[in-house]
Amino acid sequence: MTVQVGDKAPAGRFHVINADGPGSVSTDELFGGKKVVVFSVPGAFTPTCSKEHLPGFIDNADAIRAKGVDTIACMAVNDMFVMDAWGASAGAGDKVLMLADGNGTYTAALGLELDGSGFGLGTRGQRFAMVVDDGVITQLHVEAPMEFKVSSAESILEKL
């Protein structure tokens, strides 16, 4: 079942690359006492994700933070090394936290899986954005198949 606005974000853990190398961050650490925008992409280095979705959040990071957001995070069903390389190539720096959900465990807990096997991608995450305030989902914007509108940085900025 897909999470809904008003639900507590499921507990979980993401893999990240930090200054000391491979690491992880729990949802308690990520969401506890903070307002977080999380956007999910079907895959790192894929066309819409690389040309529009991630760059939009990088470009609008300051404006989004000015609306009271503590953290902007990008998640995908990719490994932490791919997410780190993608963030570095896009210039994410400290503007967007790159979260790897390598096995799709967190995506499944959200109920937002995507069957990308027709494109040779296996199970991935749907394209969406959510706002989580102290662990509670206050906004959830899931894209229709093959669309990129409601989860864009610009759309989220308007809704904050």
Active site members: 49
Tokens matching residue 152: 């864009």
Output phi, psi for 89, to 5 deg. -65, -25
> How big, in percent rounded to 5, are the helix, strand and coil portions of the chain?
30, 30, 40
CA-based torsion, 155, 94, 9, 51: positive or negative: positive
Q: Identity (one letter) of the amino acid at 103?
A: N
Are β-strands 113-115 and 123-125 bridged in parallel, bridged antiparallel, or unpaired?
A: antiparallel
